[in-house]
Amino acid sequence: MTPEALLLAYVVSLLAALSAAALYFDFRRKRFEPAPSEDRIFRCAQCAFVYTDDPDVDRSRCPHCGTSNERISF
């Protein structure tokens, strides 16, 4: 084998090993992260308290002052 072929094989094998390690750790990280919440976010118009409620609720009462609020859209 020529020196160029040996060098190419060495570089390709190192890149393959790094790619495999990156994919493994990315998969492992995603498996242990918490799932995103489906709750809706609300902000009280009276006391400015930010809170969440169930995904099927369009209007929610503030737990601090009891004012009915609409959800926040980002």
pLDDT by residue, tens only, the chain of 74 residues: 899 999 999 999 999 999 999 999 999 888 887 878 888 999 998 898 999 998 888 899 999 898 899 888 77
Phi, psi of 19 (to 5 degrees): -65, -40
Q: What is the pLDDT of residue 24?
A: 95
The pair of three-digit structure tokens given for residue 43, joined into one six-digit string? 């902000």
* 3-class DSSP state of 11: helix
Q: Where are the alpha helices (DSSP H) in 1-74?
A: 3-32
* 3-class DSSP state of 62: coil
Q: What is the pLDDT of residue 8?
A: 96
Domain boundaries of the chain, sorted by first residue = 1-33, 40-70
Residue appearing with tokens 């400015």 = 48
pTM higher than the cut 0.85:
no
